[in-house]
Amino acid sequence: MAYNARSNRKTTNKKRFKGTYNRRKICRFCADSSLVIDYKDPKTLRYFTTERGKITPCRISGNCAKHQRMVTLAIKRARNIALLPFTTSLER
């Protein structure tokens, strides 16, 4: 009886887990072809960086591999010309 109860709980947990994981984000740039990735536009590129200025991985941003490559290139170019920070120092 006790054993059964435990196994039941396990299966329900597993199902809930799967549900949250299966939600796949759609690449923003594939969905809307009018969006252009440009290093001169730090405002939109800032969305793809963390608070510390790191580039967010595609598993979080939801970009496809092709557009993630373009975004990283654009961010690196923007950093080179001081439009985006390499890091943000923690100010006391």
Partner 1 sequence: MMMKYYETLYLVNPNLADEDYKDVLTKFSALIEKNKGVLIKSDEWGKKSLAYPVKKFDRGYYVLLQYCGEPSITSDLRRDLKLDDRILKYQTVKLSDSADPEKLIREAQDSVEKVVEQPETAEKVGSEGLEKEVENGV
Residue 57 lies near partner 1 (rule: CB under 8 A): no
Residue 69 lies near partner 1 (rule: CB under 8 A): no
DSSP for 25-57, written as a single string:
PPPHHHH-TT----TT-HHHHGGGB-TTSPBPP
Give residues with Cβ within 8 angstroms of 74, minimum separation 6. Answer: 37, 38, 39, 45
Residue 50 lies near partner 1 (rule: CB under 8 A): no
* Residue 15 or 92 having the CB closest to partner 1: 92
Q: Choose the binding region for partner 1 from 2-10, 16-24, 25-33, 64-72 (rule: CB under 8 A).
A: 25-33
Phi-psi region of 66 (alpha: psi -120 to 50; beta: other; left: phi over 0): alpha
Residue 39 lies near partner 1 (rule: CB under 8 A): yes
Residues found near partner 1 in the complex (CB under 8 A): 25, 28, 32, 35, 39-40, 42, 44, 47, 62, 77, 79-86
